[in-house]
Amino acid sequence: MYRMAVLGDKDSIYGYAALGMDVCPVTDDVAAAHKLRELAEGNYAVIYITEALAERIPGEIGRYREQMLPAIIQIPGVYGNTGAGIEGVRKSVEQAVGSDILFGNQ
């Protein structure tokens, strides 16, 4: 059985504990990268990460992009939506098709 975790600044993620997910409040880049690696190599299938934090450790996240597990999913934090999540979907389209033909004009 795998578990789910949420990574981000404390204000954005503390509520997820109520749903039974593991919350890992981090703010520091280095600590975040370290924690993400620890979670990814541990027993976690889904890791939600706030967009604000994900923006600061793109390399670490990119490492797991082509692996089946874990799924690292960006979510908006309490300080607003940066649009990085949507951007990620667009990037997939771009990677697959060569150019963004689906959502380019949205």
Given the rule CB under 8 A, which residues bind other proteins? Answer: 1-4, 11-12, 14-21, 23, 45-46, 48, 65-66, 68-69, 71, 73, 75-78, 81, 85-86, 88-89, 92-93, 95-98, 102-103
Strand partners, 49: 7, 74
Q: Are 24 and 14 in contact (CB under 8 A)?
A: no
8 closest CA partner among 20, 105, 39: 39
Smallest distance from the beta carbon of 44 to other proteins, in angstroms? 9
74: nearest Cα among 10, 15, 12, 31: 12
Cβ closer to other proteins: 30 or 65? 65
H or E segment and range at residue 95: helix 84-97
Nearer to other proteins, 30 or 42 (CB): 42
Which amino acid is present at 77? G
In the bound complex, what is the minimum distance in angstroms from residue 39's beta carbon to other proteins? 14
Residue 38 or 103 having the CB closest to other proteins:
103
Residue closer to other proteins by CB (options 30, 92) is: 92
